[in-house]
Amino acid sequence: MIAPFELDWLGGAAATRLRRRRPGIDELPWSTLDPRGLDAATLDAARAAWTDGAFSEYASAAAFAALALALLEAGAPIDLTAMAGDFVVDEITHVELNARLAAQIGGAAPHLVELDRVAPVCAPGPAIARAAELAVRICVIGESLSVPVLVSAARRATHPLVRAVLGRIAHDEGPHARLGTLVLGWAGDRLAPHRDRLIAAAVRALAAYAPLWRDDADTSPTPDDASAALGLLDAVTHRRVLRRAVRARVVPALDAAGLAPAPEAIDELLGGRVAA
Ligand SMILES: [Fe+2]
Ligand SMILES: [Fe+2]
């Protein structure tokens, strides 16, 4: 069902437990972000970016929940499974951080979502193959692409609150990407019968991201200082960071697990001739 993206907060025992597990959120300098000093276009761009950010973090929480379940079904080591479960809470915290940024400047932008389709879907198969596929799609690709984007945005942001929020999120995301390599390393040779499926899943996942780094739809305005201060990356920088991440992070991690797509497939994915 398609519905407006809305978030709720229960408070009481649930909130107390979350704060105990992930302290320091209320202590960030929330009051320093004053929308009165920002022009309408910057405010609109920031509200849209942080609303979109909140939903993509929400989807990441669902993704790690799905990975945790697949690892449980595969009988994975309990500490490895615990990482995936723990990352659900990280991502929920990132949802809150993005939502509170948007709230500081007037609230979320309108955003329609289908929550009953938020979790990633895998083709049926043995649990170890499903866990590996999710690790490739979520960690080796999705998280590896988002880490340098967040680091780059955090570095550029000069506003103290935005810098603190982006820095905190970026700090959490590195281990999220590395979990992929840990899952693939644990599964090891048992993935041999599933290699073609996993490489095909990697290509599909990269193709789904490809529109974000294609050059042919650049209608974005030139970056300005107010947007940069809020950590909003201009389109040219965003594309450059993503392309570099594919070459420097994603392909080496896939290659180390014996799951790298053919070099010409990567070239084509980066070349802008790919249908999403
Ligand atoms: Fe996140
Ligand atoms: Fe993450």
pLDDT at 217: 55
**Distance in Å, CA 265 to ligand 1 centroid:** 28
pLDDT for 275: 41
pLDDT at 183 over 60: yes
State the pLDDT at residue 242. Answer: 97
Residues of the chain above pLDDT 90, percent: 89
CA 54 – CA 99 distance, rounded (Å): 6
| pLDDT value of residue 215 | 72
Band the pLDDT of 122: cuts 50, 70, 90.
very high
CA atoms within 13 A on the CB side of 13: 0
pLDDT tens figures, 212-249: 998 765 555 556 788 989 999 999 999 999 999 999 99
Residue 207 vs residues 52, 171, 201, 261: alpha-carbon distances, Å: 20, 27, 10, 12
Rounded mean pLDDT, 35-64? 95
What pLDDT is stored for residue 239 in this prediction? 95
Give the angle 249-79-247 at the CA atoms, nearest 5°: 5
User: Is 60 a residue whose pLDDT tops 80?
Assistant: yes
Alpha-helical regions (H) of the chain:
12-21, 40-73, 78-104, 127-134, 144-156, 160-187, 195-209, 225-229, 235-245, 251-256, 263-270
- Residue 94, C-beta contacts closer than 8 angstroms, at least 6 positions apart: 53, 57, 60, 169, 172
* Residues paired with residue 113 on neighbouring β-strands, in sequence order: 3
- Spacing, Cα 225 to ligand 2 middle (Å): 27
Count of CB atoms situated within 10 Å of the CB of 109? 17
Q: What is the pLDDT of residues 133-174, one digit of tens each?
A: 999 999 999 999 999 999 999 999 999 999 999 999 999 999
Q: Please state the pTM of the whole predicted model.
A: 0.94
How close is the Cα of 176 to the center of ligand 2, in Å? 5
Query: In the prediction, which pLDDT does 224 show?
Result: 78
Length of the chain: 276
Where does residue 169 fall: left (phi above 0), alpha (psi -120 to 50 degrees), or beta otherwise? alpha
68 CA → ligand 2 middle, Å: 14
Number of other CB atoms surrounding residue 251 within 10 Å: 20
